[in-house]
Amino acid sequence: MGAVTTPSDAPATTTVAAPAGTAGRTWTIAEVAEQFGVTHRTVRHYEDLGLISPERRGTTRLYHRRDRTRLNLILRGKRLGFPLEEIRTIIDMYDEQPGEAGQLTYLLGQIGDRRAELERRRQDIEDSLAELADLERRCEADLRARR
């Protein structure tokens, strides 16, 4: 097995769709972890937080399509930088009746907040890159002057 991945540093994975014709199928923790590119520990962590709820048969966890969908949404939210509590609120909306104006308004607000934060970060990165480029130019000029 490779490097240990903790829940906080789970890799940014792509969307993983359940194979067609798998409506009643279940998956083991090993299958889910492999398909989503996370460790068993990460999957169990999300279960401990109540974000996913696999069926239990003795000590065996069986993940249904709903669990896979929720895990996919959790990992997408993490990639976008949402904290787990915000991810919980958002994915719990999928279990409620669709079309609730309050849900959609909340989600749009969260999207707007996240977008604004990312724009601020992008500006900070651009400012830092400009400062580094300026420092690099000054260092190169100083080095040329000393030769």
The per-residue pLDDT for range 80-90, each reduced to its tens digit, is: 888 999 888 88
DSSP code of residue 116: H
Q: What is the CA radius of gyration of the chain?
A: 22
Cα–Cα distance between 67 and 74 in angstroms, integer?
Answer: 10
Q: Of the segments 23-27, 28-32, 89-93, which one has the largest average pLDDT value? A: 28-32
Beta bridge partners of 63: 27
23 — pLDDT class (breaks 50, 70, 90): low
How confident is the prediction for the chain on average, in pLDDT? 83
1 — pLDDT class (breaks 50, 70, 90): very low
Which pLDDT value is given to residue 16? 57
Are 33 and 40 contacting, i.e. CB atoms less than 8 angstroms apart?
yes
Tokens of 3: 């490097």
Looking up tokens 């990165």 gives 125
Which pLDDT value is given to residue 110? 85
Tokens of 103: 């849900």
3-state SS assignment for residue 89: helix
Rounded to 5, what percent of the chain is helix, strand, coil? 65, 5, 30
